[in-house]
Amino acid sequence: MNAIGSPISRVDGPAKVTGAATYAADFAIANLAHAALVQASVPAGRIAAIDTRAAEAAPGVLAVMTHENTRRLPWHPRDPRPGVDPKSGERLHPLEDDLVRYDGQPVAMVVATSEVEARAAAELVRVSYAPTAARTRFDPAYGHEPSAATAKAGRPGDTARGDPEDAFTRSEVTVDVPFVQPREQHVAMEPHATIAAWDDEGGLTLYDKSQWVDNVRTEIGLAFGIDEKRIRVISPFVGGAFGSGLRTWPHVAMAALAAERVGRPVRLALTRRALFTNTGYRPRTESRIRLGADRDGTLSSIVHEAIGQTSTYEEYAETTLTPTRQLYACENVATHYRLVDMNVNTPSPMRGPGAATGQLFLETAMDELAQALGMDPLDLRLKNLAERDPDSGKPWSSKALRACYEQAAERFGWADRPRDDAARTVGHERIGSGMASAFYPAHRSKARASVTLYANGGAMVQAATSDMGPGTYTALSQVAADALGLPLEQVRVEIGDTALPQAPAHGGSITMATLGNAVANACSRLREDLGVENGGDLVAALGGRDSHRAEGSSSPGKEAQDYESAAFGAIFAEVRVDPELGTVRVARLVGGYDVGRVVNPKLARSQCIGGMVQGIGMALTEEALFDERLGRVMNANLAEYLAPVCADVGALEAFFVESDDRIFNPLGVKGLAEIALCGVAAAIVNAVHDATGLRLHRVPVTPERIVMAQAARGG
Amino acid sequence: MQPFAYHKVRDAETAIAHGARDPQTIFLAGGTDLVQLLEDGISRPQGVVDISALPFDAIATTIDGLRIGALAKLADVADHAEIRARYPAIAAALGETASPMVRNMATMGGNLLQRTRCLYFRDGVSPCNKRAPGSGCSARLGHDAQAALFGASEACVATHPSDLAVALLALDAEVLVVGPSGERSIPLDRLHRLPGETPWIESDLEPGEVITAIFVPREAAGRAQAYAKLRHRASFEWPLVSAAVSLALVEGTIEDARIALGAVAHKPWRAETAERLLIGRRIDDALAREAGEAATDGARPIAENAAKIPLMARIVTRALQDCARQQAGDPS
Amino acid sequence: MSETTTGGAARPSASSSASDALPGAAHEVRLVVNGEVHTLAVDPRATLLDTLRDRLGLTGAKKGCAHGSCGACTILVDGRRAVSCLMLAAACDGREITTIEGLATNGALHPVQQAFVDQDAFQCGYCTPGQIMSVAGLLAEGRARDDAAVRDELSGNICRCGAYPNILAAVRQVSGIEPTPAEIGADARLRDAAGGA
């Protein structure tokens, strides 16, 4: 019996297609009150005065909370900080002081008996500000090195191997490529929402949108100075997050403060506009990359500088330059990473954090190098394939990137792509083809899980992990079904609740490599407890007991010191560009992936095509428009922040090359959420060049930018 | 959303009386724009008068032309066989409007009266003379490609986002209204105003006036006509620029031409220089390009909207090329 | 059809004459939701979406944007697709409303629901009730002509997880639309299904 590897339909599918799945704002809680935020309308300054009288008199209002009347929480520091938090600076303590750090910051909160009343009263709160000078322009001149703590966390300011500057000047062929990736927003379909309910004994229950319920519990425990055992966080379904649910955002504490104030459960659902400034985003990052090569295409030098934005109160940094150090075999590599502090809310991980950005820069520059060399872009990648990790010198625990390149090229028809004018022209449109590599480091973390076998032959898997969409429910069911020798239908999975065994963040593509092994381990323990070998009758071994529960765990071993592990891929894009109107449509994408063992090919494919769709957005439509004068995101809605729609998406093909990484972990999986985005935008941008001859060193590639680039080129 | 009184009316007289008594009264039809404006606190009426039950939703062909009830839903108009066959520019513009859900809800009259998508107006906070008179115009120096190329003022550079209005202007449509002073008709070109010093006054309608129908003259049905729209996404987005053209052709020669541009001014904008250039000539690819260029005559770029000028020329060219194909009998 | 009356927090309007209503006065409406009649006093500001979710406990329709820009709240009103976030409940008197909760019959999934499960036409599931209602509506409206039409017709429902190709496959499953030769050539699953190389 092999559930693992089978294209099983999602076990939570029926709940999701009938509306029965409960997301954070869906929980029916008796006597629920509702909170609404008042947000700052200046990017920096002090609150001079807040007039709450009209709001307090409005119908249904239970409380109007400001820094003048809200109690100071202790906000005990976390040591060590969780991996998802910035390593330097201090998180926002909402309603604690009169300081405005960015436009959109919460400055007051209204609690009322209905949401419409709370929001109406929030409109009536009058705040006057004493503005101060704000840094709202992304100015590379202000770039500073990351702090020591940030550098230690894998985001160093300067790194070098070999002598890249000297090698660059001696290189036979060079390119020097600037690039801008704007601020991008997660815009998961489910807005963040929290329901906070205190019980009579001072215990707190939070229904929250979260990728990491244990993290929410710890943070709120420290913020309020209460034992985290008295807090329960429930989050069974997460309506997409892509990183926005990794941290515990200030509104979670605000919901708990509101519930405490009014003595009733309170729901705080962020509006779509508020999400842009009260959760995170992918930071604007500017890049300059210099590549040098021998005539035969062998990379001789890489010098990559990147500057990302962060806030004035926290130092958020990304692993933007990690792919530059690890993707290609090159002896001379330097990376320089800087940060610009701005009066903005703090960025956060967003799918493929750092790596997706870095590969947009690296893989578009590689395309320019291939052009300068007169070499096929695929051949350039193959020429520089890194058989060992070029940075550490360690072997890869597994790597099937060559197979990804070759099989994806074959399926795409790369060798036969249209090249001459006649073959490329269809009506008003020109066909362009492009490709890129994809790479994302694989990690695993510590986790526990339990499995309970019942006398009726059913089993229950439990862990405090999440499922924001990839299929954790289904995949853990498959692991347990195989490990216990049970039909899949007899396995149930419970996740998203701090009452369950501790789990790490559901992010960074680590969930299956971490939880999958913990569940397998729990199943082994259960077999040992019952003294049943593989193939034996577990239920009979219960011997009349109703059930038996076993707990297992998983943590990284020595392999993490001896090997480097990563997922790999190759992406090929065909675009149709209308050069006159500047429109770009993605006709098809083909991605081949080495992600280790694939637990469920049906769901894994869905995740990969989902990454492709977000890559289309990154390449062609998505940009948070930031007005430097006001310090404000102007398109903070879903009508003008343009996530791709169905009509933007052509034929998408994702497949997996044969791969199984038992060195990395017993289950053999490497993770695929992040790599599904990596390289996609670069492949599309490269295809636009192929179609038009234009190098646009900026995404999104819009009609306006295409026609302006044509004008600059003189035609 | 501040509290308001909700009134459902069954006859036009009651609606008119409400509007005449309180000029701040808002008429609710499909609600697809109004509810957004209420939700964001941009519109804060004391009273909302629901006119959706008024008997103004019929689509009828008369001896003079086509009469489309103001409360007809966009989807029903787009699907209407007569309109698809004889006024295809209208069907095309509606087919590219918003989403299928919105098209099922939104009305013809409401579409014409939808308010600008200017980001500084819609955010509810930024200085905006249209939303908060006297507060200034943030968009003039902002980075918003939406800003107007024609007819803008110091006070306001907002554009009108309707697809439909552009097609109707190219077909020389009129808007029929009823109000405290009785019935009247307004040429589409005069329905919307330029911003001037009073950008919050957007239409020629008087307090209490209700649009009852849109009239499209029969002459329009005989014209070659097309609507072309450019946007970033392939669907579900307001236009970056759009153009509607209608050509009266006699044995292949253009006797009269109307070219309307969308998303470039506070109202749908006539490209009169380009129209004049077409008269007496035969439509072909070269002329389509020449007229496209001419359509940019008088365009004044500000801030970050300069790219819209070449795009506008090319979208006009596309619409004219579409007409040329119709003329040649090629339905593709 | 059963009748229920739900009292509201807001005061019902004392006067039967609408013209006398004061700002904020509650308005009584009769909604037929999934075949069940509900008579409610609603705040005139309440959207149909909030009313379904917070008053009737029908949380299948989701709020993604509150501005009609995402389609997560899509329901059928008198048999046609609508975004419930842009409808005032007060204006829905007498309307027949179908939500995702009303689609399955006697515990059996509606064919569109089953097709979404079969084709894995979702990941997180948040946009899914809206997507399914949108597909049900487009089929009822007879607009599922071909792939291109379906792509455009479903563009009012944003799926950030990017399940669009699988949603298209689900529509094919229930509508019998055949993929175009170009689609087959570009999609390995379709090639396999067609028995080609």
Which tops the pLDDT comparison, A272 or C196? A272
CA-to-CA distance for B138 and A629, rounded, in angstroms?
Answer: 9
Q: So what's the pLDDT on residue C18?
A: 42
Region A126-137: mean pLDDT is 98
Same domain, C73 and C115: no
Tell which of A520, A555, A590 closes a domain.
A555
Cα A327–Cα A620–Cα C73 angle in degrees, nearest 5? 115
Q: So what's the pLDDT on residue B303?
A: 75
Q: So what's the pLDDT on residue A715?
A: 57
Q: Which contacts qualify for A417-421: CB closer than 8 Å, 24 or more apart?
A: A417/A574
Residue A507, in any domain of the structure: yes
**Beta carbons of B243 and B166 less than 8 angstroms apart:** yes
**Beta carbons of B227 and B319 less than 8 angstroms apart:** yes
Tell which of C102, C119, C144 closes a domain.
C102
Region A34-56: mean pLDDT is 98
Total number of domains in chain B: 1
Q: Which two tokens stand for residue B86?
A: 């004889």
Same domain, A436 and A567: yes
Q: So what's the pLDDT on residue C9?
A: 40
Question: Which of B25, B35, B84 to mutate: most C Cβ within 10 Å?
Answer: B35
Same domain, C157 and C82: no
Q: So what's the pLDDT on residue C14?
A: 36
- Spell out which chain B residues touch chain A, with contact meaning CB-CB distance below 8 angstroms: 1-3, 41, 117, 119-120, 122-123, 125-126, 138, 141-145, 230, 232-238, 240, 304, 306-308, 310-311, 314-315, 317-318
Q: So what's the pLDDT on residue B326?
A: 87
Q: At what angle do helices B308-327 and A703-713 cross, to 10 degrees?
A: 100
CA-to-CA distance for B41 and A584, rounded, in angstroms?
Answer: 36
Q: So what's the pLDDT on residue A534?
A: 83
Same domain, A121 and A158: no
A487 pLDDT higher than 70:
yes
Nearest to A523 by CA among A507, A536, A511: A536
Q: So what's the pLDDT on residue A364?
A: 98
Q: So what's the pLDDT on residue A663?
A: 97
B17 pLDDT higher than 60:
yes
- pLDDT band of B304, cuts 50, 70, 90: confident
Tell which of C69, C102, C135 closes a domain.
C102
**Domain CATH number, residue A505:** 3.30.365.10
Q: Which domain holds residue C162?
A: 111-191
**Beta carbons of C122 and A16 less than 8 angstroms apart:** yes
Total number of domains in chain C: 2
Q: Find the residue in A nearest to B120 (Cα).
A: A634
Residue B6, in any domain of the structure: no
Nearest Cβ partner for B237 among A273, A428, A642: A642
Nearest to A478 by CA among A494, A490, A496: A490
Tell which of C102, C130, C148 closes a domain.
C102
Residue A4, in any domain of the structure: no
A116 and chain B in contact, CB less than 8 A? yes
CA-to-CA distance for A119 and A475, rounded, in angstroms?
Answer: 41
Residue B47, in any domain of the structure: no
CA dihedral A411, A415, A419, A423 (to 10 degrees): -50
Question: Which of A10, A12, A16 to mutate: most C Cβ within 10 Å?
Answer: A16
Q: So what's the pLDDT on residue A618?
A: 98
User: Could you count the other beta carbons within 10 Å of the beta carbon of residue A15?
Assistant: 16
A145 and chain C in contact, CB less than 8 A? no
Chain C residues in contact with A646 (beta carbon < 8 A):
150-152, 154-155, 157, 159, 164, 167-168
Same domain, C89 and C11: yes
Same domain, A303 and A422: yes
Chain C residues in contact with B46 (beta carbon < 8 A):
23
Instruction: State the average pLDDT for chain C.
Output: 88
C94-98, C109-113, C139-143: the lowest-pLDDT one: C139-143
Which tops the pLDDT comparison, B299 or B328? B299
Same domain, C11 and C93: yes
Instruction: State the average pLDDT for chain A.
Output: 97
Same domain, C16 and C98: yes
Q: Give the model confidence (pLDDT) of C164-176 as tens digits.
A: 999 999 999 999 8
Same domain, A224 and A289: no
**Domain CATH number, residue C81:** 3.10.20.30
Q: Give the model confidence (pLDDT) of A501-532 as tens digits.
A: 999 999 999 999 999 999 999 999 999 999 99
Same domain, A467 and A574: no
Nearest Cβ partner for A580 among B143, B234, B314: B314
Residue type present at position A651:
A
Instruction: State the average pLDDT for chain B.
Output: 96
Sheet containing strand B224-230, edge to edge, reads B224-230, B241-250, B253-262, B269-270
Q: Give the model confidence (pLDDT) of A414-456 as tens digits.
A: 999 999 999 999 999 999 999 999 999 999 999 999 999 999 9
Q: How many CB pairs under 8 A join A and C?
A: 201
Tell which of A502, A532, A555 closes a domain.
A555
Total number of domains in chain A: 3
- pLDDT band of B331, cuts 50, 70, 90: low
A564 pLDDT higher than 50:
yes
Q: So what's the pLDDT on residue B142?
A: 83
Same domain, C13 and C92: yes
User: Could you count the other beta carbons within 10 Å of the beta carbon of residue C123?
Assistant: 28
User: Could you count the other beta carbons within 10 Å of the beta carbon of residue A22?
Assistant: 16
Region A361-386: mean pLDDT is 98
Same domain, C21 and C72: yes
Residue A14, in any domain of the structure: no
φ, ψ of residue A636 to 5 degrees: the values are: -80, 60
A633 pLDDT higher than 80:
yes
Sheet containing strand A285-293, edge to edge, reads A158-161, A333-342, A299-311, A285-293, A173-181
- pLDDT band of C184, cuts 50, 70, 90: confident
Q: Find the residue in B nearest to C79 (Cα).
A: B104
Region A641-654: mean pLDDT is 97
Residue C196, in any domain of the structure: no
Same domain, A160 and A306: yes
**Beta carbons of C166 and C121 less than 8 angstroms apart:** yes
Q: Which two tokens stand for residue B234?
A: 């392939």
Q: Give the model confidence (pLDDT) of A253-281 as tens digits.
A: 999 999 999 999 999 999 999 999 999 99
Residue type present at position B265:
A
Residue C197, in any domain of the structure: no
Residue A17, in any domain of the structure: no
Q: Give the model confidence (pLDDT) of B267-287 as tens digits.
A: 999 999 999 999 999 999 999
Query: Which residues, at least 6 apart from A166, have a Cβ–Cβ distance to it below 8 Å?
Result: A332
Residue B275, in any domain of the structure: yes
Sheet containing strand B182-187, edge to edge, reads B59-61, B65-69, B210-217, B174-179, B182-187
Q: Among all chains, which residue has been given the structure tokens 């396995």? A: A491
Sheet containing strand A583-594, edge to edge, reads A425-426, A429-441, A566-578, A583-594, A649-656
Nearest to A497 by CA among A242, A225, A216: A216
- Which residues 246-275 of A have a C-beta within 8 angstroms of B? 273
Q: So what's the pLDDT on residue C8?
A: 40
Q: Which domain holds residue A489?
A: 444-555
Q: So what's the pLDDT on residue C11?
A: 40
User: Could you count the other beta carbons within 10 Å of the beta carbon of residue A75?
Assistant: 16
Tell which of A490, A524, A555 closes a domain.
A555
Cα C66 to Cα A255, B37, B240, C50, C52, distances in angstroms = 21, 11, 23, 10, 14
Residue type present at position A511:
T
Residue A10, in any domain of the structure: no
A330-334, A683-687, B61-65: the lowest-pLDDT one: B61-65
Same domain, C90 and C27: yes
Same domain, C155 and C96: no
**Beta carbons of A567 and A608 less than 8 angstroms apart:** no
Query: Which residues, at least 6 apart from C107, have a Cβ–Cβ distance to it below 8 Å?
Result: none
Q: Find the residue in B nearest to A626 (Cα).
A: B143
Same domain, A551 and A577: no
Nearest to A288 by CA among A267, A302, A268: A302
Same domain, A195 and A176: no
Q: Give the model confidence (pLDDT) of A86-116 as tens digits.
A: 999 999 999 999 999 999 999 999 999 999 9
- pLDDT band of A536, cuts 50, 70, 90: confident
**Domain CATH number, residue B253:** 3.30.390.50
Region A690-702: mean pLDDT is 98
Same domain, A125 and A167: no
Same domain, A433 and A518: no
Question: Which of B123, B159, B241, B315 to mutate: most A Cβ within 10 Å?
Answer: B123
Q: Is B271 helix (H, G, I), strand (E, B) or coil?
A: coil
Burial code of A199-236, b = ≥16 C-beta within 10 A, e = fewer?
Answer: eeeeebbbbbbbbbbbbbbbbbbbbbebebebbbbbbb
Same domain, C10 and C85: yes
Q: Give the model confidence (pLDDT) of C70-93 as tens digits.
A: 999 999 999 999 999 999 999 999
Q: So what's the pLDDT on residue B330?
A: 63
Q: So what's the pLDDT on residue B145?
A: 84
Residues of A marked as catalytic: 674
Q: Residue A179: beta bridge partners? A: A287
Same domain, C143 and C74: no
Q: So what's the pLDDT on residue A16?
A: 98
Same domain, C41 and C71: yes
Region A339-346: mean pLDDT is 98
A687 pLDDT higher than 80:
yes
Q: At what angle do helices A680-692 and A355-373 cross, to 10 degrees?
A: 30
Q: Which domain holds residue B287?
A: 223-327
Q: Which two tokens stand for residue B132?
A: 């908060």
**Domain CATH number, residue A49:** 3.90.1170.50
